[in-house]
């Protein structure tokens, strides 16, 4: 079969299905005015690496950072990155090795229009007993953000939490995809 | 009576416990601040 182009009525063989690169593991709708969102049963031994997408959630605060934590670990996240203002063009570097979460970047200004964000985070190794690595891009109407980082623990995580540095999140979806090993 | 921030665990949304709120505040989280300066 000439995948990935399938025709109506084609039989999907194991080899075709096993070649699927991204598998949607879970979709989580974000509630109203929540300060943290914990997504359970996201990581497992099925995949080494994951893509987490958050779309169309709105922050309540004025330009908070958005963070991600693995399990209950709330210390020693390392990240470096930069954020760029769409209004001024200013580029700012940002680096730490002692954060309480992996920083995905800065959000908009806390309104239903400009507070809307869209972000992708690739998480490598969260369920393996080695360091986990993050790569993130986050776009809002105010900022463009690019970050990389790690948490150097051997904990095998199954869940993660999304949280803004201030205020709350309302609406939108979190989608978790496993990347074919 | 002050309302605590809300925590969401999968589809469950509830107020945080005192311990959960203390952990959140310890991580540097703050409530909305309309006077927060522009970056």
**Domain at A115, CATH number:** 2.60.120
Identity of the residue in B8, B30, B31 whose CB atom sits nearest the CB atom of A34:
B8
In a domain, A107, yes or no: yes
Q: Provide the 10 A C-beta neighbour count for residue A171.
A: 16
Per-residue model confidence (pLDDT) at position B31: 87
Please check whether residue A2 lies inside any domain of the structure.
Answer: no
Q: Give the number of domains in chain A.
A: 1
User: What pTM value is reported for the model?
Assistant: 0.91
CA–CA gap between residue A68 and residue A126 (Å, rounded)? 12
pLDDT digits (tens, 9 = 90+) for B1-39: 568 999 999 999 999 999 999 999 988 899 875 544 445
- Flag whether residue A167 sits within 8 Å of chain B, measured between CB atoms: yes
A21, part of any domain: no
pLDDT at B35 (0 to 100): 43
Is residue A3 in some structural domain? no
Residue A31: pLDDT above 80? Answer: yes
| pLDDT given for residue A111 in this prediction | 66
Nearest to A82 by CA among A146, A138, A17: A146
Mutate which: A35, A72, A158, vs B, most B CBs within 10 A = A35
Per the domain annotation, does A102 fall within a domain?
yes
pLDDT tens digits for range A100-115 = 999 988 777 666 666 6
Q: What is the pLDDT of residues A52-85, one digit of tens each?
A: 999 888 888 888 888 999 999 999 999 999 989 8
pLDDT at A94: 92
Judge contact between A168 and B6, C-beta under 8 A.
yes
- Does residue A5 lie in a domain region? no
pLDDT given for residue B33 in this prediction: 57
**Burial class (CB within 10 angstroms; exposed 0-12, middle 13-18, buried 19+) of B13:** middle
Residues of A with Cβ-Cβ distance to B8 under 8 angstroms: 30-31, 34, 36-38
- Residue to test with chain B: of A25, A34, A60, most B Cβ within 10 A: A34
Instruction: Determine the structural domain holding residue A90 and report its residue range.
Output: 26-179
Q: How confident is the model at residue A1 (pLDDT cuts 50, 70, 90)?
A: low
In a domain, A1, yes or no: no
């Amino acid at each position: 079969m000439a995948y990935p182009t399938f025709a109506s009525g084609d039989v999907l063989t194991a080899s075709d299905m096993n070649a699927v690169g991204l598998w949607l593991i879970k979709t989580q709708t974000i509630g109203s005015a929540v300060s943290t969102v914990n997504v359970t049963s996201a990581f497992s031994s099925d995949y080494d690496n994951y893509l987490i997408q958050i779309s169309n959630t709105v922050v309540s605060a004025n330009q908070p950072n958005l963070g991600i934590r693995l399990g209950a670990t709330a210390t020693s996240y390392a990240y470096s990155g930069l954020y760029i203002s769409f209004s001024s063009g200013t580029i700012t570097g940002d680096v730490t090795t002692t954060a309480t979460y992996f920083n995905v970047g800065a959000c908009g200004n806390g309104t239903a229009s400009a507070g809307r964000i869209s972000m992708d985070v690739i998480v490598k190794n969260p369920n393996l007993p080695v360091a986990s690595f993050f790569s993130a891009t986050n776009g809002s109407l105010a900022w463009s953000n690019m970050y990389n980082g790690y948490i150097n623990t051997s904990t095998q995580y199954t869940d993660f939490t999304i949280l803004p540095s201030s205020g709350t999140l309302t609406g939108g979806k979190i989608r978790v995809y496993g990347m074919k090993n | 009576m002050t309302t605590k921030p809300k925590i969401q665990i999968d589809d469950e949304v509830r107020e945080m416990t005192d311990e959960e709120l203390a952990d959140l505040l310890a991580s540097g989280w703050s409530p909305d601040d309309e006077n927060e300066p522009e970056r």
